[in-house]
Chains A and B, each alone.
Chain A
Amino acid sequence: MDVLNDKRAKTELKRPFPELWRVQIERAISKHGWTVIPDRERFVVDVCKDLDAELGDGNTQERAAANAVERAAIRRYCHVLYDACASKERQAQERGLREVWLYLYRAGLFKTHDPERAKDAAQQALVNAWKHLQQCRDKGSFISWCNLILLNVVREQFRRDMRRSRRGKTEKWVREEIPLAEVGNPGEELELVDSEEKNALSEDMSFDLAAQGELHARLLVAIRACLASEDQRTVVIESFFNDRGFKELAQALDTTPGNVQVMKSRALKKLRRCPDFVRLYVEMLDVSGEPNS
């Protein structure tokens, strides 16, 4: 089998993938110190094939940006890492999990700023990831999926910290995280199910366009009347009416996604207190009573 794989790899290496790609892929492997690649030549070929499929047009091959090559290498490495962690061979499993550990520990330090907490969180996340490997829907995002598990573990730790130390001083970064941790357990629940939510997206398309246009026009007038800040208006309008993401808005406003979230949060607070906006929703929702002052 090794001989056959070798022959296939050597045959495929003769395909005209740009030499630059191979150099960039090898550079990525060295840069990241990846150790769980069973067949390096095969890995390079697979990444080249992924890039080829993504770029499509042979003329654009040479112009693939360096970061696109690295991103493709990371995605392919995630597949390799996943396969190692899911392997029935104990040795391969251990190699894979030790590599995942490095990413989890780093993520734990990023969130907790404390080596002991980071170690505890990473350990728990490692066990959870191994136990629920089959739930990873996209192997190419395996490391991100593991990081997400770690973020959830840390959030649970924060909740426990809050319950234990209600009266004592807590660190600033924990206090910032805790309200959000609590928000993670929603009280009010909308009675939505999968198919209903999917249908709802297409319902928006079939909603009477004239009525929709008029409703949105009134909302836009209220938003502009209530928000003096141009940036806040942009964030609200582009987020909700044009489905722009945080990253896109951050680039457009020359700021960070974190700042966009802060702007949005402040804008929403202002709208909640603005009589014009409240009056509009009271009318739309057919709610009785006077607007709050």
Chain B
Amino acid sequence: MYQENQIREALCSRPAGLTLTALALGCAVWQVEPDRQSHYKCLDMLPSFIEAEADGKLHTVEFMYTQRHLHICASCAKMYSDLVRLTAGMAEPLSVSRIPPPELSFLDGPRD
């Protein structure tokens, strides 16, 4: 356990001798979480990422970043998985019966 903690601490400090591949693999194996900013960046890109993946156009640096983050972050990977299923479902007509109406009174108030 002590050694595991040492490994995690070492991975957090982004040691110079490791390639990004080795760092990403190490972070995934020892569950070193990415920082919050990485989460936000990844989630921000996710809808476009899924579209680009469906079109076979994942060649940009930004999408590579998103892909690497998805490999090491279980939380964002779950979001990705759900969003892929919902996006695939968009190809089907909306078939839910008895949909309640939305409440739109918020339109009377200001936006943030």
- Please give the residue numbers on chain A whose beta carbons come within 8 Å of chain B beta carbons, in ascending order: 31-33, 67, 70-71, 74-75, 90, 93-94, 97-98, 101-103, 105-107, 109-111, 115, 119, 122-123, 126-127, 130-132, 137-138, 140-141, 143-145, 147-148, 151-152, 177, 180-181, 183-184, 186-194, 197-198, 200-201, 203-204, 207, 212, 215-216, 219, 236, 239-241, 243, 245-247, 257-258, 261, 264-265, 268, 271-272, 277-278, 281-282, 284-292
Do the beta carbons of A203 and B20 come within 8 Å of each other?
A: yes
Q: Which residue among B30, B50, B82 has the maximum number of chain A CB atoms within 10 Å of its CB?
A: B82
Q: Which residues of B contact A186 (CB under 8 A)?
A: 33-36, 39
> Can you name 17 A-B residue pairings with CB atoms under 8 Å?
A98-B101, A103-B90, A106-B94, A123-B103, A138-B48, A189-B36, A192-B37, A197-B65, A201-B65, A204-B19, A240-B71, A246-B77, A272-B4, A284-B15, A285-B26, A287-B6, A291-B3
* Minimum Cβ distance to chain A for residue B45 (Å): 8
Task: Tell whether, in the assembled complex, residue B107 and residue A94 are in contact, meaning their CB atoms are under 8 Å apart.
Answer: yes
* A286 to B9 alpha-carbon distance, docked (Å): 12
Given contacts A97-B107, A111-B82, A151-B83, list 13 more A-B pairs with CB under 8 A: A101-B102, A105-B99, A141-B47, A148-B43, A190-B14, A192-B37, A201-B65, A219-B22, A243-B68, A245-B58, A258-B81, A268-B28, A285-B6
Shortest distance between the CB of B47 and any CB in chain A (Å): 4
Are B82 and A151 touching (Cβ within 8 A)?
yes
In the complex, chain A residues whose CB is within 8 Å of the CB of B53: 245, 247
**How far, in angstroms, from A289 to B4 measured CA to CA in the complex?**
10
Cα of A136 to Cα of B56 in the assembled complex, Å: 22
Q: Which of B7, B21, B47, B74 contacts A138 (CB 8 A)?
A: B47
The answer for the CA separation of A145 and B103 in the assembled complex, in Å, is 20
Q: Report chain A residues within 8 Å CB of B79.
A: 148, 151
Residues of A within 8 A of B104 (CB): 94, 97-98
What residues of chain B lie closer than 8 Å to A257, measured between beta carbons?
81, 84
Are B20's CB and A200's CB within 8 A? yes
CA distance A103 to B90 in the complex (A): 8
Interface residues of B in 42-101 (CB under 8 A from A): 43-44, 46-48, 50-51, 53-55, 58, 61, 64-65, 67-68, 70-71, 74-75, 77-87, 89-91, 93-94, 96, 99-101
Instruction: Give chain A nearest CB distance to B110 CB in angstroms.
Output: 9
Chain B, residue nearest A67 (CB): B91
Considering the complex, give the chain A residue whose CB is closest to the CB of B87: A144
On chain B, the residues within 8 Å of A189 by CB distance are 12, 33, 35-36
* Chain A nearest CB, measured from B3 CB (Å): 4
What is the CA–CA distance of A63 and B84 in the complex, to the nearest angstrom? 26
Interface of A is mostly: helix
- In this complex, how many residues of chain B approach chain A with their Cβ under 8 Å: the count is 80
For the complex, what is the distance from the CA of A201 to the CA of B67, rounded to whole Å?
12
Indicate if the CB atoms of A180 and B74 lie closer than 8 Å. Answer: yes
Q: Nearest chain-B residue to A136 (Cβ)? A: B47
Choose one: A98, A192, A219; the contact of B102 (CB below 8 Å).
A98
Across the interface, B100 reaches (CB within 8 A) one of A70, A105, A198, namely A105
Q: B100 and A192: CB pair below 8 A?
A: no
B29–A187 touching, CB < 8 Å:
no
A151-B82, A287-B7, A288-B6 known; A122 vs B35 contact (CB < 8 Å):
no
Using Cβ atoms and an 8 Å threshold, which residues of chain B touch A190?
A: 12, 14, 32, 34-35, 38
Q: Which of B12, B64, B86, B103 contacts A147 (CB 8 A)?
A: B86
B26 → A minimal CB distance (Å): 6
Top 10 nearest A-B pairs (CB, nearest first) are A186-B33, A144-B47, A141-B47, A285-B10, A101-B102, A204-B20, A289-B3, A184-B75, A189-B35, A287-B6
